[in-house]
């Protein structure tokens, strides 16, 4: 085959340090846009960004030559640097969740990310992440997920 064809679509989730309520509602849309800009500047294509005061969800397409871990590092490093210009105590938690997304489910995942505030009126971030890990058949120790 003369060319490479790759579909690397991921739903990425990461939280603030200790899942503290550090992302003020009045700053969320600015942060979501900033994350999308970081991604765009590094060749990633963002399809949706959303979250709440203690975590963010990003649906994005990675370039074929970029490792997932590099993409997340770029997003977290640059966004935390930007937020710390006005909030010196801001930090992201170590680690992240990343789930591959089938093209047939993109609309559903976009809607899920857009509706995060409503979703979290009934479910905590902790419940949400554990459900996502279980649905993806990812092995984990429930006592160590949030440490």
| pTM attached to this predicted model | 0.93
Q: Which domain holds residue 116?
A: 9-135
Instruction: Give Cα separations from 97 to 22, 26, 87 (angstroms).
Output: 19, 25, 25
- The tally of domains found in the chain comes to 1
* Tokens standing for residue 37: 């800009």
Return per-residue pLDDT of the chain as tens, 147 residues: 678 888 899 999 999 999 999 999 999 999 999 999 999 999 999 999 999 999 999 999 999 999 999 999 999 999 999 999 988 899 999 999 999 999 999 999 999 999 998 888 888 999 999 999 999 999 989 888 887
In a domain, 144, yes or no: no
In a domain, 121, yes or no: yes
* Tokens standing for residue 35: 């994350």
In a domain, 101, yes or no: yes
- Going by C-alpha positions, the residue among 100, 5, 122, 2 that lies closest to residue 52 is 122
Q: What is the CATH number of the domain that holds 121?
A: 3.30.70.1290
In a domain, 145, yes or no: no
In a domain, 100, yes or no: yes
> Which residue shows structure tokens 């009934």?
122
In a domain, 64, yes or no: yes
């Amino acid at each position: 085959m003369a060319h490479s064809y790759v579909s690397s679509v991921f739903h990425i989730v990461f939280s603030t340090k200790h899942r503290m309520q550090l992302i003020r509602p009045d700053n969320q849309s600015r942060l979501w846009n900033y994350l999308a800009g970081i991604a765009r500047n590094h060749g990633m294509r963002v399809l949706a960004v959303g979250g709440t005061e203690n975590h963010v969800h990003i649906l994005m397409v990675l370039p074929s030559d970029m490792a997932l871990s590099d993409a997340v590092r770029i997003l977290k490093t640059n966004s935390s640097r930007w937020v710390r210009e006005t909030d010196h105590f801001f930090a992201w938690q170590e680690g992240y969740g990343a789930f591959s997304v089938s093209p047939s489910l993109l609309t559903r995942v976009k809607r899920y990310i857009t509706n995060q505030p409503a979703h979290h009126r009934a479910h905590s971030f902790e419940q949400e992440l554990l459900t996502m890990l279980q649905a993806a058949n990812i092995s984990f120790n429930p006592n160590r997920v949030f440490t």
